[in-house]
Amino acid sequence: MSFIDWGALMQVLVAGLILGAGAPALFALGLRLLAGTAPVAPEGAAAASSDGEATASATVTIARPTPVRLVGAIACLGVVVGAVAFGLVFVVSGGH
Amino acid sequence: MEGVTETLLLALVVVTALAFDFTNGFHDTGNAMATSIATRALKPKTAVTLSAVLNLVGAFMSLAVAATIAKGIVDAGVITLPVVLAGLVGGIVWNLVTWLFGIPSSSSHALVGGMVGAVLAAVGTSGVLWSGVISKVLVPALLAPVIAIAVAGLGTWFVARLTRGVPQEVSNRGFRWGQIGSASLVSLAHGTNDAQKSMGIILLALIAGGAVPADSSVPFWVILSCAVAMALGTYLGGWRVIRTLGKGLVEIDSRQGMAAETSSAAVILLSSHFGFSLSTTHVATGSVLGSGVGMPGAKVRWNVAGRMFVAWLVTLPAAGLVGAVCHWLESAIGGTAGTLAVFGLLIVTSAAIWIASRRKPVDHNNVNEAWDEEKGADLESVAATTGEVGPERVGPLPAVPTAVGPILGSVESVESLAPVGAAQGKVQA
For the stretch A51-73, pLDDT in tens is 444 444 444 455 667 888 888 88
DSSP string over B326-381: HHHHHHHH-HHHHHHHHHHHHHHHHHHHHHHHHTS---TTTTTS---SS-STT---
B261 and B41 Cβ atoms separated by less than 8 Å: no
Mean confidence (pLDDT) of chain B: 81
Q: Give pLDDT, residue B391.
A: 38
Cβ–Cβ below 8 Å for B263 and A21: yes
Distance from CA of A66 to the nearest CA of B (A): 16
In a domain, B246, yes or no: yes
- State the pLDDT at residue A63: 61
- At residue B404, the pLDDT reads 41
Size of interface A-B (CB pairs under 8 A): 168
Q: What percent of chain B has pLDDT over 70?
A: 84
- Whether the predicted pLDDT of B332 surpasses 60: yes
| Gap between the Cα atoms of B377 and B357, Å rounded | 9
At residue B21, what is the residue type? Answer: D
Residues B393-411: what's their mean pLDDT? Answer: 40
ipTM over 0.85: no
Sorting pLDDT into bands at 50, 70 and 90, what band is B276?
confident
Comparison of pLDDT for A83 and B407, the residue scoring more: A83
Model confidence band, residue A88 (pLDDT cutoffs 50, 70, 90): confident
DSSP B382: S
Query: How many domains would you assign to chain B?
Result: 1
Determine, yes or no, domain membership for A95.
Answer: yes
Q: Report if residue A74 sits inside a domain.
A: yes
Q: By CA distance, what is B140's nearest residue in A?
A: A4
**B381: which residues sit within 8 A by CB, 6+ positions away?**
B248, B301, B303, B304, B371, B372, B373, B396
Interface of B with A in 123-142 (CB under 8 A): 131, 134-135, 139
Identify whether A55 is part of a domain: no
- Residue B6 belongs to a domain: yes
Q: What pLDDT score was predicted for residue A69?
A: 85
| pLDDT of amino acid A10 | 87
| Residue range(s) defining the domain that contains residue A69 | 23-33+65-96
Domain range spanning residue B160? 2-424
Q: What is residue B387's predicted lDDT score, i.e. its pLDDT?
A: 37
Q: What is the 3-state secondary structure (H, E, C) of B139-203?
A: HHHHHHHHHHHHHHHHHHHHHHHHCCCCCHHHHHHHHHHHHHHHHHHHHHHHHHHHHHHHHHHHH
pLDDT in tens, A12-65: 889 889 988 999 999 988 888 887 665 444 443 333 334 444 444 444 455 667
pLDDT band at B286 (very low <50, low <70, confident <90, very high): very high
Does residue A15 lie in a domain region?
A: no
Does some domain include residue A7? no
Would the CB atoms of B270 and A12 count as touching at under 8 Å? yes
Mean per-residue pLDDT, B386-402: 38
pLDDT tens digits for B115-129? 899 999 998 888 888
For chain A, the domain total comes to: 1
Q: What is the pLDDT of residue B154?
A: 95
